[in-house]
Structure 1
């Protein structure tokens, strides 16, 4: 159980990193289009990921028959998901996008988990998830901007909701692959494929970049996105998810809005409301209930055992 709690702490750390990025990325978005900034985030991470993969595992390859699977995961998890996030924010309110992006994601993961894994949805996970959902709703709506379901935001709202569905299926699709390869290897390859398909969306934006005016905060935002938000966060999230299960892991995404609210207060002077503080406390209580669940999945047999947590792949290719 102590080991599991380390994985839960890792999930919380990743959610804090991703939540803080809502504020930090604002510096980069002042100089780059969203498509180019996201391309930098993933593109610059690729050589580092492959270097880490080679150093830790001694080989970088996967079986040829798995290239297509990893490519599909990358297209949905990087290309489509990141573009949908950008346009959902463009076509709806921030409160709408935040709530519809975040809140249904773990619910979709729980509903579709049986299609990809042997995880069981227990009463503790349901109860903890429901409590955490109340907390994340308080954080998002407690900021003062209410939900607006008017027809002018319908496209953005549908995109935001689709993000939760695509993101949940993306996480679940990684689980079978991480029975065969390490989380680091799976992450590296799907980011490569997803970034390749993301590149065409940057056409037309490069000429607008004023490279001479880039400031230290902008460079800092790029480094933060590449090193922490992508390399550290994606690998750590996939590692923890492979150990505790996709259903339980995805409820820890509810920490993201709380971290975003704190970042907004620290860097941009945005007020934190009492309802948001209460929401954060409710989220943590819900996650503690989820984390106390001892059996959310059928115990692994030797055949199904997860890859080594240090990143060593189970097969040599």
Structure 2
């Protein structure tokens, strides 16, 4: 654990950044249509990512044979995933979307990891993950809106569940490429392709923007998304995931709803329930248990090609 401690701190930091963004994004979404806001987030991050990649590694190039893989990963992990998040929230409750989006993601990652890496599900990982799952359920279900299985929410529930599955496969698909390139290079290129595929989705959105209503707070929310939620978070997450393994790393997503609940209490005067506080403690215990596992041989990617 000692040698990997910095990476676990990185995973927790990213989860907190993403959790707080549930509140921060509300300010921007009052002015920008959702699809435009997503394109701004990733599109404005691109010059920073490419500049930093050029400065730190001297080149931004990738092999032509890997471009299709990066394009597919960007389309699935940025374009499709972000659109699914928007529509899942539209067609179901926030509690439903949060639970079905977050809770199954690490489980899917653990189930499908053998297809991409040699990571194994250990007893400690299973126990710690189960404990953390209880904690995240307490946070989401312990709020004012409980889980609702009403038929009117079925479409949104299915979309939210698909986010967990697609997101897990997206994370795992990055692992083989990160054995060849740095996490920064992989991140930069798949965000490029994901942003390109997002452009057609914004065709009608720009005309709906009331530019006179774009305040400093709104631009601050955009800046938070560009610098912290995209540039810093994606690089730190992928670097940390490469070091500790995708299976372990994805359980740290359970800190997202915990930090989102705290952000709601701090910024929007939302009530923080005792059940949610207990859930946060339970999540922490479960993830500390996972992180305390003795270091294993770093995950080695199988030599089989990833289908593009």
Equivalences for residues 10-89 of structure 1 within 5 A = 10-89=10-89
Question: How many pairs align?
Answer: 302
CA distance in 2, matches of 1:222, 1:147: 30
In angstroms, what is the RMSD of aligned CA positions? 1.2
TM superposition shift of 1:211: 1.4
Contact preservation (8 Å) 2:117, 2:299: no
Closer, same or farther: CA 213–284 of 1 in aligned 2, 3 Å: same
Aligned to 1:134: 134
> What residue in structure 1 maps to residue 306 of structure 2?
none
Normalising by structure 1, what TM-score? Answer: 0.94
Q: Write the distance in 2 (CA, Å) between the matches of 1:180 and 1:215.
A: 43
In 2, the alpha carbon distance for the partners of 1:300 and 1:192 equals: 27
Q: Which residue number in structure 1 is paired with residue 189 of structure 2? A: 189
Cα shift readout 1:67-103 (whole Å, capped 9, x = no counterpart): 0000000000000000000000000011100000000
Measure how far apart 1:300 and its partner are.
6.1
1:160 maps to which residue?
160
Query: What TM-score, normalized by structure 2, do the two folds share?
Result: 0.96
1:242 aligns with 242
**3-state SS of the aligned residue for 2:232?**
helix
Please report how far the alpha carbon of residue 245 of structure 1 lies from its aligned counterpart in structure 2 after TM superposition.
Answer: 0.1
Question: What whole-Å deviation, never above 9, does each CA across 1:143-167 have from its counterpart, x for those lacking one?
Answer: 1211111111110000000000000
The corresponding residue for 1:110 is 110
Are residues 299 and 235 of structure 1, via their aligned partners in 2, closer, same or farther at CA, if it must alter by over 3 Å?
closer
**Structure 2, unaligned stretches of length 5 or more?**
303-308
The residue that corresponds to 1:218 in the other structure is 218
Cα offset, 1:3, TM superposition: 2.7
Q: Tell me, which stretches of 5 or more residues in structure 1 are unaligned? A: 305-317
Which deviates the most, 138-147 or 155-164? 138-147
Cα distance in 2 between the residues matched to 1:59 and 1:106: 34
Deviation >6 Å, runs of 4+ = none
